[in-house]
Amino acid sequence: MKRLSLAAASLAMLMAAPLAAQDRTADLLRDLSNAAGPPGFEEPVRKIMVERMKPLADELRYDGLGSVIARQGSSGPRIMLDAHMDELGGVVRRATPDGFLTMQMLGGWLDQALAGQRWIIIGAKGPVHAVTSIRDIHLAQADERGALIKRDAVFLDVGAKDAAGVAALGLSPGDPVVPDSPFLDLNGTGNYAGKAWDDRVGCAVLLLAMERLKASGHPNQVFFTATVQEEIGLRGARTSSAIIKPDIGIAIEGGVTGDSGGARPEESQVKLGAGPGLFLYDTSALPNRKLVALVKDTAASAKLPLQLDLVQGYGDDSAEMQTANGGAPTVNLVVPARYTHVHTGVISRRDFDQTVDLVVALIKRLDAKTVERLRDFTPE
């Protein structure tokens, strides 16, 4: 018994240690990562963003889909700094007669990431824990064991014995579903594990940059924009860009690393812990070349590392900002992240801090003359 008690005490200390060591920034990242907010159900994330933005903004408003637009400054170029609040998730489709639930996925999930996982369903009576089904290895035939489990064969198990039991838990079709993956300081390494780094890490960059720019001042009107429904078609970026009409657009995203094993060099060259990233290409957008050059020069002047990447099969809000107001120069800056679009990703605190530094330094350089030059396409 004593040995068991000592083991339990050691486990408790191990679990508590990362929390005790957390600072204000880690607390923010934890709160944003843990908040539930699949596309169309971003309320918990929006609450965090609005509470932090309101004291720092000269004006705060919303677009018709629920994106938050916080303006700082009343003159100068219109700079749109964007991060999206939504995460990959799902919604309940129906309850089966034997008490399981089927799920409509929201966003670009890999089928192999769905089975055998823990989830939280936000029902009428509050959060309900669930696990997704998976074929038991003792029942699976040899040819099944290495096969992909398709999403249509995955069911949510909430412990109910029938459809009435599901209803008694307050669950019904359309209820949002999110991964159950709490924030964790990964063994004191300075790397943080958690869900929804795409794009809660961008939301955190947005908030800390807003704080610093409020204190230091800047030569612009900056529209700090937390958008909705990015994962199902960049929808919030489209509606908020129509309101803001940006002169310059900067998206802040969770990037894609190629250092987690199995990646081919042509897929991604970015590494965790090696600094902020700048996309030179993705499937949805090409950045403005002059703005890319300015980002590179800003990073070099501030002695900040900068990783360059080109990624297929990736879309971001800069694609919508790019086409607003007759066209706007845009870039996509990223905090590198391992394991995006699954239950648990990993980011580096160092990369995060340096991304905030880069964003602040870049916005301070975007005065009227610089913006005019970036938007001038007159042949030389």
Active site residues: 230
Cα–Cα distance list, 174 to 40, 108, 318, 342 (Å): 11, 18, 30, 21
CA separation for the pair 277, 296 (Å, rounded): 10
Cα–Cα distance list, 76 to 54, 72, 250, 346, 361 (Å): 21, 11, 16, 37, 17
C-beta atoms surrounding 266 within 10 Å? 9
Burial environment of residue 188 by CB neighbours within 10 A (0 to 12, 13 to 18, 19 or more): exposed
CA separation for the pair 121, 91 (Å, rounded): 8
Q: Where are the beta strands (DSSP E) in the chain?
A: 59-62, 68-72, 78-84, 89-95, 100-106, 118-123, 126-132, 156-157, 176-179, 184-185, 191-194, 221-227, 248-254, 277-282, 307-311, 330-335, 337-338, 345-348
CA separation for the pair 312, 98 (Å, rounded): 42
CA separation for the pair 164, 374 (Å, rounded): 61
Question: Pairing mode, if any, of strands 176-179 and 184-185?
Answer: unpaired
Three-state DSSP class for residue 196: coil
Instruction: With CA atoms as reference, report the closest residue to 288 among 244, 321, 243, 312.
Output: 321
Peptide bond between residue 152 and the one before it cis (omega within 30 degrees of 0): no
Instruction: With CA atoms as reference, report the closest residue to 254 among 130, 140, 341.
Output: 341
CA separation for the pair 63, 245 (Å, rounded): 13
Task: Give the tokens for residue 241.
Answer: 């860009």
C-beta atoms surrounding 183 within 10 Å? 22
Task: Give the tokens for residue 9.
Answer: 């005490």
Task: Give the tokens for residue 29.
Answer: 């990242």
